[in-house]
Structure 1
Amino acid sequence: QRLDHVKNWKGELEVKRSELEKEIDATESYLVRIEKRLQSLQDNLHITQTTLANREKRYDIDLVHDDVQKDLIMEISAIQGAITLLTRTIEQTKEQLR
C-alpha cells in the first residue's frame, strides 16, 4: 500500500514537472520575443533621433520648429517610455525564470 502511495506521488510530481517545463519554455520564448521588440524599438529610436538631429542642423529659413518636429519629439518620448517598460518586463521575466 505504501508503495502505491509513493508511485502516485511520483506520478503527480512527474506531471507537475512536465507542466513546469512547458511553462518555463513558454516564458523563455516570451522573453526572446520581448528582447527582439526592445531591439526594434531601440533601432526606431535611433532613426527618429537621427531625423530630428538632421532637421536641427538646417540653416536660416530652413530651420523651422513645425508640427513634424513636435511629432518627432513626442515619438522619441513615447519610444523611450516603451523601452523603459520593456526593459522592466525583461528584468521581471528573468527574475521569474530564476
Structure 2
Amino acid sequence: MLRAMNLAMEDYLPWDQKVPAEASPLQQCLHRRESYEVAAAPGPEGIVFVTIIPDASACDIGGPPVLGIGATYAIDVRGWRILSVQQ
C-alpha cells in the first residue's frame, strides 16, 4: 500500500517540481507534500486505489475552501504502474 501511495504522490506532486516565483501563499502551501492526505484501499486483482486530497488544516490561509484539487489513482501493484487517474 505504501509503495502504491508513493507512486501516486510522485506523479501528482513530483519532488523536482518548482513553485512559481509569483505563487500565492495558498499555491506555495499546495506545493508541499505534507499539505495532503493520502489514503489507499485494495481493489480487485492486484489493484490499489489511492486518493490524494488537500489537508484542510495544512493550508489554513482563510477564504473559501479549496475545491477541485486532488486525485484518485488506480495502481497496478503487480507491474507498479498507474492504470488511471481521476482528478
Larger radius of gyration: 1
TM-score (norm 2): 0.27
TM-score (norm 1): 0.25
Determine which structure has the larger helix proportion and give its number.
Answer: 1
